[in-house]
A and B are shown apart, each in its own frame.
Chain A
Amino acid sequence: MLLALLLCYGGFTALCLSMDRHHAELLGCKPSARRRRGMKLGGWGLLALSLWAAVSSTGWGLGLVEWFAVLMLSALLLVLLMPYRPRLALSLAGVSLLISPVAAFAQY
């Protein structure tokens, strides 16, 4: 479940950065069109990967439930963190993507 959570959080942060307004809020400038597309693709990719991570570890029944749970939790965490601690929200995404290989290694 940890791996799915890390990937979900990273994915949502990428999707968030693919929007002009949030990119400007968090990083101080508008994203280029290429960057926007990259963020969008990366974000959806990470979410899909997290679904696979959840389902492959506990099967479809429990895996889907766990995936939805971490999906909602990570989005809620990101949205509540962004206005108060924007730097923390961003660095958490970086850290979670960095340690996700370790979590993947622990899971398999």
Chain B
Amino acid sequence: MKEGFRQAMAWLHTWAGLIFGWLLFAIFLTGTLAYFKDEISHWMQPEIPARSVSSEASLTLAQNYLQQHAAGASRWLIDLPDAREPGLSVRWQQSPAKRGERGQFTEKLLDPQTGAEVQGRETTGGEFFYRFHFQLQMPYPWGRWLSTIAAMVMFVALISGIITHKKIFKDFFTFRPRKGQRSWLDGHNAVGVLVLPFHLMITYSSLVIFMSMVMPASILASYNCDVRAFFDEVFPASSTPELAGKPAQLAPLAPLLERAREQWSGGRVGRLTVNHPGDAHASVVLVRDGADRVVHDFGSAVTFNGVTGHLLATTPEQSLPRAIAGSFYGLHMGHFAGPVLRWLYFICGLAGTAMIGTGLVVWLGKRQLKHAKSGVMPFELRLVEVLNIAGMSGLMVAVAAFFWANRLLPVDVAGRADWEVNSFFIVWGLSVLHAMARRGRAAWVEQLALAALLFGAVPVLNALTTPYHLGITLVQGDWAMAGFDLTCLGSGLFFAWAAWKMQRSGTAEAVIRQRAQPITPEREVN
């Protein structure tokens, strides 16, 4: 009975893992990249300078700018720069022409030191990886549904994998390289077991984040099928005072930052909203930046009167269920992570990606052995092989192509941001064709070598197309920019090593096969 159960779980692990493996690989890789989405965006918009300026100084600049350019707007939104996102973003909304309509938004980026407008090149930046990670570049509900189903399958694969893996503690420290199929399975088990807390956390929390979509039954039951009523109660709309119609001078905003900090015992302000600036009933909402706590609080804010500076309202303390949901959200996003912890998140994400990748390789390797002698693969194995190559090495090449497109496309071309994304998908599609045209190992070696070349040359490309090369960024201490270049160089070296390894094991296999050939007829004679 027990063996039967374990076998059933092994079957489930094998097939659930295979069917969703490629999708999960892409989700994990892009999600891992999304941990550095601000740094990636910074690299992809090198025109926006990184400066360390106090929030007060940049807020004063933003207020001056808005008073000059958007005095008549109905709402101002100011996103303060932080250590990771250097841009000071200001947006304003015009009063709508008709009641009930949404007014038009204008967005500008300012240099937080001088207050001058900065024109960054048009790009989706790191946001692309973040969005793709859960929307999969599909129209609204479908991408989310598919990625949530993938998360559910991932959870099933994790649990069934733990049950299938008999000797978790005995093999805890075991990794035997250079043993072919054995090493792949060892590697799969090692990254699976050693990084298991991360895998469980990230998979379970992704289900918690989309819980109202995945398990709406409790909401539907208690709110009589009115999901909107639930959300209205959970996220109450901020009540802004009505327009007074009398003009009044807006008080300086910078001192409010300190008062908000006192309210939150040191918590930073991330965004400010000024309603009806220049009116006697102006109000200022300061929203807390979640980066200083693990437990994420959705919309913790304080509201001040914009003219007198009186405290108008504060959001209530988080209730326990919201704190639990918020802690899963916070753990998944890792907004709170400093540089070291962020790198650890990144490494854990790579380990998860590696676990999925090695699992796919093991699946194919096990079944390929049977057909090794004849050299002819049945269609379904060839299909898995092509998808493995395009889904893993092809995706890496596509990521590199996305970065290359950012530097090579002319700055003023129309629809530039879309073309960056298009080049990602075009290159990914080409990698499928390439994997179909070439034999398995040759396709692996060529795509890995191409990825090595593209990633390894990113620092050179950056030096040739922008003035922000490693010699300057390292001296200036712009670690996001320099770190991006160095990480690309490191990945390039890794892919070169992988391609070389793949090439060498290929020739070794061929030699063994040649040596083995004369023996087979003898056996037949015997």
Contact = CB atoms under 8 A, between A and B. Distances in A.
Interface of A: 1, 12, 15-16, 19, 22, 61-62, 65-66, 68-73, 75-76, 78-80, 82-84
Contacts of A62: 294, 336
A61 B172 CA distance: 27
19 contacts: A12-B173, A65-B331, A65-B341, A72-B194, A72-B197, A72-B344, A72-B348, A72-B351, A73-B347, A75-B173, A76-B190, A76-B195, A76-B347, A78-B173, A79-B194, A82-B173, A82-B175, A83-B176, A84-B177
A61 B173 contact: no
B95 to A, nearest CB: 43
Given A61-B293, A62-B294, A79-B190, A73 B344 contact: yes
Contacts of B421: none
Contacts, number: 58
A69 B344 contact: yes
A108 B282 CA distance: 48
A16 B173 contact: yes
A36 B37 CA distance: 46
B295 interface: yes
Interface residues of B, number: 26
B345 interface: yes
Contacts of A12: 173
Nearest to B195: A72
B263 to A, nearest CB: 20
Contacts of B194: 72, 75-76, 79
Nearest to B169: A19
B32 to A, nearest CB: 14
A77 B341 CA distance: 16
Contacts of B174: 79
A72 B198 contact: yes
B191 A1 contact: no
Contacts of B173: 12, 15-16, 19, 22, 75, 78-79, 82
Interface string B340-360: 110011011001000000000
A28 to B, nearest CB: 17
B190 A1 contact: no
B177 A83 contact: yes
A79 B331 CA distance: 26
Contacts of A84: 177
A12 B195 CA distance: 14
Interface in B97-135: none
Given A79-B175, A83-B175, A68 B340 contact: no
Contacts of A15: 173
A76 to B, nearest CB: 5
B341 A68 contact: no
A16 B340 CA distance: 26
Nearest to A74: B194
A68 B170 CA distance: 21
A79 to B, nearest CB: 5
A54 to B, nearest CB: 11
Given A1-B341, A65-B331, 19 more contacts: A1-B340, A12-B173, A61-B293, A61-B295, A62-B294, A68-B198, A69-B344, A71-B197, A72-B197, A72-B351, A73-B347, A76-B190, A76-B191, A76-B347, A79-B173, A79-B175, A80-B190, A82-B175, A84-B177
Nearest to A1: B340
Nearest to B193: A75
A22 B170 CA distance: 10
Contacts of A72: 194-195, 197-198, 344, 348, 351
Which of B176, B194, B336 has the largest count of A CB atoms less than 10 A from its CB?
B194
A75 B294 CA distance: 24
Contacts of A16: 173
Contact of B345 (A61, A69, A76): A69
Contacts of A75: 172-173, 194
Contact of B341 (A22, A61, A69): A69
Contacts of B344: 69-70, 72-73
Cβ-closest 8 pairs across A and B:
A69-B344, A61-B294, A75-B194, A16-B173, A72-B195, A76-B194, A68-B197, A79-B175
A75 B177 CA distance: 17
Interface string B197-220: 110000000000000000000000
B341 A66 contact: yes
Nearest to B347: A73
A70 B293 CA distance: 19
Contacts of A82: 173, 175
A1 B293 CA distance: 17
A45 to B, nearest CB: 18
Contacts of B176: 83
Given A61-B294, A69-B344, A70-B344, A76 B351 contact: yes
Given A1-B340, A76-B191, A76-B194, A69 B175 contact: no
A10 to B, nearest CB: 14
Interface in B147-182: 170, 172-177
Nearest to B334: A65
Nearest to B197: A68
Which of B173, B176, B351 has the largest count of A CB atoms less than 10 A from its CB?
B173
Nearest to A71: B197
Interface in B10-66: none
A70 B348 CA distance: 10
A55 B74 CA distance: 47
Contacts of B172: 75
B345 to A, nearest CB: 7
A62 B191 CA distance: 24
A83 B378 CA distance: 36
